[in-house]
């Protein structure tokens, strides 16, 4: 009998423990967060007692501001890269030595290359634009660029010249360069004047055609009104009553 009690008593205690455990309230399971659509951030639920306060909103605003601020920068970089490629392509066709020089500089000193490229973009912009609309003007601009470089070189040589005779010779060379530049400046103005005159003549043709059309419309007022009136009165009904 005692052995039976020793065997049954643990079973009774184990059963009681299991019943109590089943009756105890369990913690509610947290619902699974739905999978957000592509491109949407996963927002973690706020802990109990905390709210979506001003600090959180401020951080979100700062992140959004940085993201929007970076977008124009990237667009600007892309624009610079496109202009760089455009200039290099143009130089390879029109000034291969300059293109080769810039490529070599890019390999050795990227910072110096960037500064040089920005300078060359400004330097060649007028020539590249004129080459499409006025090739003769583009050629004059190319020659003027060469003369500007010669002028700067001569000025530097005159500044560093120690011999008076050498300085006088360099000054004469500079004078010759300035005379050539003056002729090119006159030629540039002449070409631009002719281009402007041509555009003005084309514009005058458009003005004359517009004036003729206006006078014609005025003269046909009565005829056009009667014609449109007949169209309105004789037009069939647009609603299908069948």
Q: What's the pLDDT tens digit per position in 89-112?
A: 988 888 889 899 999 998 999 899
Decide: residue 208, CB within 10 A, 0-12 exposed, 13-18 middle, 19+ buried: exposed
Phi, psi for residue 237 in degrees, rounded to 5: -65, 140
Give the mean pLDDT of 6-20.
Answer: 51
Q: Are 195 and 137 in contact (CB under 8 A)?
A: yes
Q: Which of 7-16, 73-82, 187-196, 199-208 has the lowest mean pLDDT?
A: 7-16
| Mean per-residue pLDDT of the chain | 77
Angle, helix 164-219 to helix 221-234, in steps of 10 degrees: 60
Which run of H or E residues covers position 233?
helix 221-234
Alpha helices in 134-163 (DSSP H): 135-160
pLDDT at 2 over 90: no
Cβ–Cβ under 8 Å, residues 34 and 43:
no
Local confidence band at 204 (pLDDT 50, 70, 90 cut-offs): very high
pLDDT tens for 137-183 read 999 999 999 999 999 999 999 999 888 999 999 999 999 999 999 99
- The C-alpha atoms of residue 104 and residue 108 are separated, in whole angstroms, by 7
């Amino acid at each position: 009998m005692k052995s039976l009690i020793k065997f049954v008593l643990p079973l009774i205690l184990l059963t009681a423990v299991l019943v109590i455990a089943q009756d105890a309230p369990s913690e509610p399971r947290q619902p699974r967060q739905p999978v957000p659509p592509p491109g949407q951030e996963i927002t973690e639920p706020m802990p109990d007692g905390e709210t979506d306060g001003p600090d959180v909103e401020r951080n979100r605003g700062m992140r959004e501001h940085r993201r929007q601020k970076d977008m124009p920068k990237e667009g600007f970089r892309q624009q610079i890269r496109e202009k760089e490629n455009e200039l290099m392509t143009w130089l390879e066709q029109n000034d291969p030595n300059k293109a080769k020089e810039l490529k070599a500089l890019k390999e050795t000193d990227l910072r110096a290359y960037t500064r040089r490229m920005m300078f060359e973009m400004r330097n060649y912009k007028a020539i590249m634009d004129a080459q499409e609309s006025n090739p003769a003007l583009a050629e004059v601009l190319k020659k003027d660029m060469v003369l500007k470089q010669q002028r700067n070189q001569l000025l530097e040589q005159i500044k560093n010249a120690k011999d008076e005779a050498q300085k006088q010779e360099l000054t004469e060379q500079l004078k010759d360069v300035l005379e050539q530049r003056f002729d090119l400046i006159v030629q540039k103005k002449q070409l631009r004047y002719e281009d402007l005159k041509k555009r003005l003549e084309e514009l005058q043709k458009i003005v004359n055609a517009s004036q003729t059309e206006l006078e014609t419309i005025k003269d046909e007022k009565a005829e056009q009104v009667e014609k449109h009136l007949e169209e309105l009165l004789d037009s069939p009904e647009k609603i299908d009553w069948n």
